[in-house]
Amino acid sequence: MDFPSSVDQVASAVGDDQVVARYRAKIRVVPGSDCLWWVGAISAKGHGRFWLGTDACGRDTAIISHRFGFALAYGPAAMTAAPVLAHSCDNPLCQSPDHLRAVTNAQNKAQWAARHRRVGGVLRDVRGARGRSLAIREAIKSGADLAAIDAAGVRPVDAGQLPMFNLD
Question: Of the listed pieces 12-20, 69-77, 89-97, 136-144, which binds Zn ion according to CB under 5 A?
Answer: 89-97
Which residue, 96 or 133, is less far from Zn ion as judged by CB? 96
> How far apart are CB 16 and Zn ion at their closest, in Å?
25
Contact flag: residue 9 with Zn ion (CB under 5 A): no
Contact flag: residue 122 with Zn ion (CB under 5 A): no
What distance in Å separates the CA atoms of residue 132 and residue 44, rounded to the nearest whole number? 11
Question: Of the listed pieces 50-58, 75-83, 96-104, 112-120, which binds Zn ion according to CB under 5 A?
Answer: 96-104
Q: How far is CA 70 from the centre of its chain?
A: 11
Contact flag: residue 91 with Zn ion (CB under 5 A): yes
Element (H, E) at 53: strand 48-54
Element (H, E) at 72: helix 65-74
What distance in Å separates the CA atoms of residue 83 and residue 90, rounded to the nearest whole number? 18
Contact flag: residue 47 with Zn ion (CB under 5 A): no
What distance in Å separates the CA atoms of residue 121 and residue 123, rounded to the nearest whole number? 5
Which spans of this chain sit near Zn ion (rule: CB under 5 A)?
35, 89, 91, 94, 96, 99
